[in-house]
Structure 1
């Protein structure tokens, strides 16, 4: 049995047991949460304690990998510029579309109220910034204070600037610092692996409390969450087609046929890396030279998560709406910036680890409690399908665009 299956079964078992015990004795069910809630909270705190060093380490190593790729030549540089534009564009799209979807199809009030009561045992991770405080605090005056206070956007900005500064050093100190932060990342991943082995216990404990307090509303809310967040991934997936047609100048039918095999591999494996051979073949079928596809696609697989910032922001916005946390312009700007920047740190991470490493900073930057993430990670398998297929499709679309630019540059004036 896979870890994802165990986590999902723990979620269902906890919810069902909580609902059953509450049906038999509401008082007894709620009394039991005095024992289950601390267990679930301790598991969440274990994940939370590694977020700061993991994100800083991932940003430093991710920016280093991006800079090394950019130094590889003209094609790599164009690919990185195109990737950056797509990432910021899809993140801004999510900031507009997610609240609109939640307005058009809101979570039923009764469910929302019950879940809010069940999931607001912990205070918000930080104060939601206004637009004024966003600009005042985006550059930290004290990095250690920002880390200690869960001020993730200022910390992310510092880590990003620090990472770019490292890329300007001489080779020996650059490799020394990059290796140091890579070692930190590796150590944090080992710790997260240990914590995730306990995930079924932690999620069962959290789910029991939610089931005891909310009843069957929890199942409906999880289904609603899956549809809303997956919809954002589907929009990013669909956007790859006009990008390929308009920017890459390929026919729509040809792109559909070329992307199909890679999408099939992505669905079956939920891995962009496993889809790389099919992506290379599809890109070459669309006219991308092997030299271009052989540079762009490995870079895209390593540092490009087209759906990640948009869907990560959608998760944070969904939880905010779920728990009644108001999101003003400042908090939204903080979420957009954090989501777009930290996506460079999600390099080759397993889905469960990537979920916490990329969603938690966005939620914390917006002042949204992360307690709900302990439940939502159990149903991430379905949205993750759309994440992977969207990433693979957008990788091929960007490759066609970069290939067209390269051909245009090579034509004689």
Structure 2
């Protein structure tokens, strides 16, 4: 063996070290440790004052802090990414066609998902098998409707921010600040289009926006690097708060939901990928980091930075298109929360209250699930989507309260499927339009979704080639 070969061998990291550095392995390890620590915290029990013990509180703080960091980056990410993507789309000849294809495939996959949900709800009959003595109906705290969607389209301020205050029994007032993602998207689109209309005079603004986007992406990379720690806290806190005993009285409902999620994730999505001539294994290995984070964070918006990055760097979707499709999909593409779940849940409520659904009502379930997910964009949550479905069908809204006990457990699987779908559609559309980087899609996975600065510079060059030519790199 030559000295050069020996030196290269000595410098090459072992497979064990490579696995340890793998993002997927770190997330999986955090999941296991989180479950263990959660069980330990539950075994310790509450303190003498009736509050959570120190371990439970620590897990809760770690998990909530990580989600807060992700959510804090959402507004600047969406704002700069959409404006930058509109500026880049001016160099793509088929921009309108890309947007149309994206909406079409959103609807196609949603229709398949809701069809599976209706079938499972009718066959498994979770409502008829539920223990009525162990369940208590209650009014939902949030109700979704078409008026919410129309109201949410009109921005109340430039950043889509909202503030609310609530008074407790002891007289204390708690204030909270949130944001309406749909309004942020509307504002960003308006500014981006206005910048294009202004022309050359807007170039300095667009350059600043591009630079800000790069800075935000770097900050997001730092946040994603601590995802395993956040995962440990999130899954541990879920075990502490809910455990698995809540599944007892709603066992068949939970089984129906997870069977539906598994069918879409493991059968429908792979079939669509295969029909487009792409490797199923490469798709799953590419999107897996975002799916894992979505599962533990229970937030498509919180997972958005990583979803967009894996769509670009792992699946080969051009940044000019991904920066539009993924943020848009994170608010409107929800096969888990807005298709499978409301379909099965609506059937569950009807069966629980002894109401026979007509064929027309089944059609309405499908219609609301396919079109209605946009109505929840400003007020995200499967509960809002479910209330919209129930009110459309004329079913008792009190049925929502029946399902709240195990909603956090179900929300993990729903969000994971949402995230996978939000990466799938841009990948499929990019392949159909001939702009998918097949070399990048089929590349060996290194276990991380972000690359160093040198790789990002190369990615910018590749993106520029794609935007100019309108075809994939050869």
For structure 1, which segment, 228-237 or 197-206, has the greater mean C-alpha deviation from structure 2 after superposition? 228-237
Aligned partner of 1:159 in structure 2 is: 188
Aligned partner of 1:196 in structure 2 is: 224
Contact 1:138 1:153 in 2 (8 A): yes
Aligned partner of 1:89 in structure 2 is: 107
1:231 to 264, 273, 296: 264
Contact 2:161 2:180 in 1 (8 A): yes
SS at match of 1:27: coil
Aligned partner of 2:451 in structure 1 is: none
Contact 2:330 2:419 in 1 (8 A): no
TM-superposition CA deviations, 1:328-350 (whole Å, max 9, x none): 999996742787xxxxxxxxxxx
Aligned partner of 2:69 in structure 1 is: 46
1:136 to 136, 151, 167: 151
Equivalenced residue count is: 320
In structure 2, distance between residues paired with 1:155 and 1:229: 32
In structure 1, distance between residues paired with 2:218 and 2:246: 32
Q: Sort the Cα spacing of 1:388 and 1:161 in 2 relative to 1 into closer, same or farther, 3 A.
A: closer
Q: Sort the Cα spacing of 1:206 and 1:90 in 2 relative to 1 into closer, same or farther, 3 A.
A: same
In structure 2, distance between residues paired with 1:307 and 1:139: 17
> More relative contact order in 1 or in 2 (CA 8 Å, sep 6+)?
1
TM-score by length of 2: 0.51
Contact 2:329 2:422 in 1 (8 A): yes
Contact 1:128 1:367 in 2 (8 A): yes
TM-score by length of 1: 0.57
In structure 1, distance between residues paired with 2:332 and 2:271: 14
In structure 1, distance between residues paired with 2:161 and 2:327: 28
Counterpart mapping for 1:61-140 below 5 A: 61-70=84-93, 76=94, 79-80=97-98, 82-90=100-108, 93=111, 96-97=114-115, 100=118, 103=121, 129-140=144-155
In structure 2, distance between residues paired with 1:150 and 1:306: 15
TM-superposition CA deviations, 1:232-276 (whole Å, max 9, x none): 6854665689xxxxxxxxxxxxxx5xx445555445555766898
2:38 to 18, 21, 24: 18
Q: Note the aligned Cα RMSD (angstroms).
A: 5.3
TM-superposition CA deviations, 1:277-316 (whole Å, max 9, x none): 9xxxxxxxxxxxxxxxxxx999767866699569941344
Give the CA deviation at 1:231: 0.8
In structure 2, distance between residues paired with 1:10 and 1:263: 26
Q: Sort the Cα spacing of 1:39 and 1:299 in 2 relative to 1 into closer, same or farther, 3 A.
A: closer
Give the CA deviation at 1:8: 2.2
Q: Sort the Cα spacing of 1:226 and 1:274 in 2 relative to 1 into closer, same or farther, 3 A.
A: farther
Counterpart mapping for 1:380-391 below 5 A: 380=416
Give the CA deviation at 1:69: 0.6
Contact 2:81 2:323 in 1 (8 A): no
TM-superposition CA deviations, 1:144-187 (whole Å, max 9, x none): 453664122222212112212222221352x3222222222222
In structure 1, distance between residues paired with 2:181 and 2:158: 10
1:363 aligns with 2:363: no
Contact 2:80 2:210 in 1 (8 A): yes
In structure 2, distance between residues paired with 1:14 and 1:192: 23
Contact 1:236 1:306 in 2 (8 A): no
Q: Which runs of 5+ in 1 are unaligned?
A: 71-75, 115-123, 242-255, 278-295, 340-360, 401-413
TM-superposition CA deviations, 1:357-396 (whole Å, max 9, x none): xxxx773798699x969x949x95x987777666555544
Q: Sort the Cα spacing of 1:201 and 1:399 in 2 relative to 1 into closer, same or farther, 3 A.
A: closer
Contact 2:30 2:232 in 1 (8 A): yes
Contact 2:336 2:418 in 1 (8 A): no
Contact 2:154 2:183 in 1 (8 A): yes
In structure 2, distance between residues paired with 1:224 and 1:51: 29
Q: Sort the Cα spacing of 1:304 and 1:169 in 2 relative to 1 into closer, same or farther, 3 A.
A: same
SS at match of 1:18: helix
SS at match of 1:313: coil
1:313 to 334, 352, 355: 334
In structure 2, distance between residues paired with 1:145 and 1:390: 26
In structure 1, distance between residues paired with 2:73 and 2:318: 31
Q: Sort the Cα spacing of 1:101 and 1:313 in 2 relative to 1 into closer, same or farther, 3 A.
A: farther
Contact 2:114 2:340 in 1 (8 A): no
